[in-house]
A and B are shown apart, each in its own frame.
Chain A
Amino acid sequence: MEQVKSQITKDDITVWVDQYGDELYSWASFKTSSSTTAEDLVQDTFIAAYQAVDKFKGNSNPKTWLFSILKNKIIDHYRKKTKSFLSYESEQEQKGKQFTDSFFDKNEHWSEMPNESLWDDEDHILDDPDFQSTMKKCMDDLPDNWQTAILSKYILEKDSQEICQELEISPSNYWQILHRSKLMLRKCIELNWFTANE
């Protein structure tokens, strides 16, 4: 096993930037869907690592340590993002709400019956590359914060209750957003996939 010095210097960090920078960046890009954000978070990670070198145990793996710092940076990023969208409702979100409200009549019953037969072939559709591109379009159509909410489970790899804690969002707020996101996704999939493939 590689012998790691107990004292970490700037030179060590420089080597780490070279050695692990790409992997950290690649992971952060995936988690944030933004190359600029990912670059900033990776930079913050190395700065934080440099400032906290005392906490780094010489016998632990630098890569694991860096990834754990980055992971916290990503959660911080989503927490800030969530805070800003909770304090302010975007026009995009208002439109999304009106749109999903229109799926129900004044008695809150479906104004249009969901069409079941179209969805029967689920195993098949998930593996279809064309369906994946429809999915991408429909995800892009969601208001930004709804997209973040519905993806957060898979991005942060946590269960719903933990996500609410980490993002400081109330559970009722969270499932209401999921509900609207799914209503909107479902409509979009019906319009763009099933109708186009009939």
Chain B
Amino acid sequence: MKKLMNILMLSCKRATELIEKRLVVGLSSGEKIRLKMHMGMCEACQTYEKQSIIMDSAVKKYAEGQNQENVKLSPKRKDKIINSLD
């Protein structure tokens, strides 16, 4: 029985990997069941899952925030581009 449990039960490392995998390619039905079993009894991984979602929003916001500066090409650089056309 213990051996069977070991096969069925994911480690926390593996479970959190599957949480990320699910977002990229989705999971096989076996993986879905094993993740569900793990999540049902592991609070730490439930917490990770919530944090993972928050981090996605935070990264998105960070990426958008990078876009605020309105930078310009120097006239010199524009000339260089024009000269490179020959």
Contacts and interface: CB of A to CB of B under 8 A. Distances in A.
B58 to A, nearest CB: 6
Interface string A149-185: 0110011000011001000000110111011001101
| 7 closest cross-chain pairs (CB), A and B | A108-B11, A154-B63, A108-B13, A179-B20, A160-B24, A175-B24, A116-B47
Interface of A: 10, 13-14, 17-18, 21-22, 25-26, 29-30, 33, 35, 39, 42-43, 46-47, 50, 104, 107-110, 113-116, 119, 122, 125-126, 131-132, 135-136, 139, 150-151, 154-155, 160-161, 164, 171-172, 174-176, 178-179, 182-183, 185-186, 189
Interface in B58-81: 58-67, 69-73, 77-78, 80-81
B78 A50 contact: no
Contact of A113 (B17, B44, B71, B84): B44
Contacts of B58: 125-126, 131, 135, 185, 189
A43 B80 contact: yes
Contacts, number: 136
Contacts of B70: 22, 26
A132 B65 CA distance: 9
A178 B69 CA distance: 27
A9 to B, nearest CB: 10
Contact of B59 (A13, A25, A119, A150): A150
A1 to B, nearest CB: 27
A104 B62 contact: no
Contact of A182 (B20, B65, B77): B20
B67 A30 contact: yes
* Main secondary structure on B side of the interface with A: helix
Among B52, B63, B81, which residue has the most Cβ atoms of chain A within 10 A?
B81
B11 A21 contact: no
Interface of B: 11-14, 16-17, 19-21, 23-25, 43-44, 47-48, 50-52, 54-55, 57-67, 69-73, 77-78, 80-82, 84-86
B64 A154 contact: yes
B25 A17 contact: no
Given A30-B67, A104-B12, A175-B21, A21 B81 contact: yes
